[in-house]
Amino acid sequence: MRRSRARGGVGAFSTRTGASLFLCSGAGKLFAGLLLVLVVGTAVGLAVLWPGKDAGASLGSLVADSELGEVRRIESFPCSGFQTDTCRRVDVALLSGPDEDGTATLELGTSAIDPDLSVGDRLRVAAQVAPGGGTTSTYTLVDFERRAPMLWLALAFVALVVVFGRLRGALSLLGLALSLAVVVVFVVPAILEGAAPLAVAIVGSFAIMLATIPLAHGLGPKSVAAMLGSGASLLLTVGLAVLFTSLTNLTGLSSEEATTLQVNDAGVSFQGLLLAGIVIGALGVLDDMTVSQASTVMSLRAANPAQRFGDLYRGGLRVGRDHVSATVNTLVLAYVGAALPVLLIFSSGTVGFLEVLNFEIVAKEIVATLVGSIGLIAAAPITTALAALLVERLPVGGAGGDAPPHVH
């Protein structure tokens, strides 16, 4: 019976007596004030940087409109001109657009860079632009149509999250949707409108954090400590990113996408865009770390109410060290995987490995990895200290330790 009452008290914080228990301590009032400042600052940033309706209109479309088609016939023929390989003539039935129900004929080579097509493949094709404007009846291959299998994969992901996580999983999916909405509705249009990418990324990251953590975990001591820990760690990450992007003279122009934006006079700060990517990329792992550390401290407090700040801090850090080692490895491997084709290109010649690391396309991934990892490591002691300080003087029922610690 005693165990049952203790569990009820722990979980009751976010539903019945959370506000009174949380604000009964000096630390709770201080943290609530800091959180309020963070919320107001984020709201002001959103209001100031919010894009207009025509954001990015002056840039125009950088991607051609395409139509759906299906391969109906493929035949080989000798290539003309200086080519010696066999070419392919591909008949594609048009399934959308002004020439729907018609047929487009594509001529493709057989080299390694040409796609391997089969009858029945669904493609995206685009009508060529006529010299005087408008389009012609001649089509070119844009890409494969791959949205259907991606949709099935997404549905499988959603189903597994809901089955495994139940209500908590459903709320996390809602948080994911909110995160994507912030990026699509605010971050991208604001940058296209000419706002400083780093400022937009900081405001957008805080908005994502303030919306998703309470949504998934409730608004209690755990969430407050996690949000403040994430905020402090994110600001540290921003500072390190700005410093080392400047020291290493990273321009943000090493990617093909950045070159496309530059050629089309997008008016975007490419170094700022690089910084924005580092900040937003670091946010996900920071949230994971801070919520886990705060949850660990809450659980330690609920298990042994006699523990004080030092005990809670040391106990939380023991879990945090395991979490850091696993998450840093995940972060590094994610960046290495993204840069693997580049590493293969540069390592295939006679250029030395240390010289390869100096190329910007590789160096930017190294800087992003190390900056994100340092922010991640700092998040563990920062959040653990905040959570321990916050719950030390709270009654056990207000500790909010309604979930076991999360360790990789």
Burial of 361 (0-12, 13-18, 19+ CB in 10 A): middle
Q: Which segments of 253-359 does DSSP mark as H helices, in order?
A: 256-263, 270-303, 309-347, 353-358
Q: How far is the C-alpha of 47 from the C-alpha of 41, rounded, in Å?
A: 10
| Percent of residues, the chain, with pLDDT higher than 70 | 82
pLDDT band at 13 (very low <50, low <70, confident <90, very high): very low
Q: What integer pLDDT is reported at residue 402 of this predicted model?
A: 47
| pLDDT reading at 403 higher than 60 | no
Q: What integer pLDDT is reported at residue 83 of this predicted model?
A: 59
Residue whose token pair is 């009032």: 29
pTM: 0.82
Sheet holding 86-94, edge to edge: 103-108, 86-94, 67-78, 122-129, 135-144
- State pLDDT tens for residues 167-213: 888 998 999 999 999 999 999 999 988 899 999 999 999 999 999 99
Q: Give per-residue burial for 43-65: e unless 16+ CB within 10 Å, then b.
A: eebbeebebeeebbeeeeeeeee
Q: What integer pLDDT is reported at residue 55 of this predicted model?
A: 64
Torsion, Cα 146 144 62 56, to 10 degrees, reads -10
| pLDDT reading at 238 higher than 80 | yes
| pLDDT reading at 135 higher than 80 | no
Side chain identity, residue 294: A
Find residue 259's DSSP bridge partners. Answer: none
